Structure 1
């Protein structure tokens, strides 16, 4: 009977903690090391890390931005020196073209027993009606789109040891 008040208080305290962190991220503090440095990060809240495969890590950051709003950021950290890991361009149905298809479906189409996809990200801007990328896209050395009719710079990977870009 002595501990009954503690048993009643604990769920309330936990609920209050969860609610306060979602309403005001400034009331929470970082839960461990926070290795994201950016001018938009005002107050670190949390960093979650997971090993997806040897040489591939997922990082999930929660922080309060300068405007006081909670921001989530997801990062895939790739060891480019690991010979078993590669960064590749995806496309709908794993074909040599562009169009509209969710990233998860593109990853599933490219996944095979001898070619495992462990992470996929949307890394280009594109026409929302046609799926045409605004940037230049090569997939395993094949041209998907080789022109950029905007003034944007680009970055690419010819292979895991040689980058290409037009950064000025």
Structure 2
């Protein structure tokens, strides 16, 4: 972040726009990954974001391109609904869209710690997160599994004995 202009008094960013989506779509989810600093390459800033149309983009800021904005690095067109959550880490890219909590995951390829397109990110999984709770709760189920912050074994035993 030291590459961006900061206000001296409170280290607030002085820029209002870091990157504009090429299609002009609204950004609905955002994740930032800072690569570990090395003496050779310095820090890379990697930003993954999801859009309202379900597109995922990765933009990067190289230490060599100080003074220029982040550059578009990769685009994934995988969701049909807006992306609600996204996470970019050292090894994975994970996104969730609004349609039934559809999740897509990829293995991220890195070379010397920096994200790379050769051989490229590989899809890892595609699944939906569904609720396993029944539509109507059964009274005996909630009574037997009601463990909250006020739960104590003594109170539980008193209820079962009486």
TM-score relative to the length of structure 2 = 0.29
Which protein has the bigger helix share?
1
Larger Rg: 2
Which protein has the bigger strand share?
2
